[in-house]
Structure 1
Amino acid sequence: MAIELGKQAPDFELLASNGEKVKLSDLKGENVVLYFYPKDMTPGCTTQACDFRDLHNDFAQLNCTIIGISPDPIGKHEKFIEKYNLPFLLLFDEDHHVSELYEVWKLKKNFGKEYMGIERSTFVIDKEGKLAKEWRKVKVKGHVEEALQYVKENLA
């Protein structure tokens, strides 16, 4: 199933950092910012998570839920949330099934080594569950502000 703007976002259910399962279709009626990131506690991922934290209330005022997804286990997510006071859920995509659904599980190269991993990407899903906007190969600086501006201008 290819992911396509204006179409239903692929539904999924994953274990969240609070120990509960989160199903995307259960969030119909609110906007969702779904962001995929490679790894807890790394510099870029920490900056991105803290940027979402700092603008969390602005998103909430727009009826917008923020959810982060990575292959890191729940215990690591819990430490990440606690250390940086993150007010949103992080989901555990252990087998990278959801990352593959959203086409963000990619071959990456770093220091001459090739490996499979998450390509930093963000998706905005509207109240009807349709994919409204996507950013792929995200550069962290200024990205969260851009996502917030998109939600304000298009989904508020």
Structure 2
Amino acid sequence: MSVEAGTPAPDFTMPTDGGGSVTLSALRGKPVVLYFYPKDDTSGCTAQACGFRDQLPDFQGVDATVIGVSKDSVASHDKFKAKYSLPFTLASDKEAGVAETYGVWVEKSMYGRKYMGMERATVLIDKDGVVRKVWRKVKVPGHVKEVLEAVKGL
């Protein structure tokens, strides 16, 4: 399965850092930036998370909620957040069910070995719960600014 622009975003509830949980439908009324990333505390994922951290006041200025999603445990998310002072929610998709629903749990290949993993992807959901834009195979440099411009355009 996969999500496309113009379709309703599939609802979910996931555990989050700090022992909480997040439900997409509870966030209606404001845009949601849902970014999927492979692993806490790796170079690309850290750069991406810190990019969202540094631009968060701009996202808050347009009333947008930023949520990072990976398969990492809540405990891993807590450490990652503390280490880099990340001020937004990190959700744990331990079984990759949400990633599968959103079409970002994909076959990857490294050194000739194939395996399933999280594609670096971002989904922009409008205040009514409709997918407005999907970025797949995200390259970190410049991505956060591109997402911010898209949010401003809603």
Structure 1: where are the runs of 5+ without partners?
none
TM-score (norm 1): 0.96
How far is the alpha carbon of 1:18 from its aligned partner?
2.1
1:7-156 matches, cutoff 5 A: 7-152=7-152, 154-155=153-154
Q: How many residue pairs are counted as aligned between the two chains?
A: 154
How far is the alpha carbon of 1:94 from its aligned partner?
0.6
How far is the alpha carbon of 1:4 from its aligned partner?
2.2
Deviations for 1:73-132, whole angstroms, at most 9, x for unmatched residues?
Answer: 011100000000000010000110000000000010112221110010001000000001
Structure 2: where are the runs of 5+ without partners?
none
Give the distance between the partners of 1:137 and 1:3, measured in 2 at CA: 14
Provide the alpha-carbon RMSD of the alignment.
0.9
SS at match of 2:32: strand
TM-score (norm 2): 0.98
- The share of aligned pairs that are identical, in percent, is 53
- CA contact 1:124–1:131 (8 Å) conserved in 2: yes
- CA contact 1:18–1:89 (8 Å) conserved in 2: no
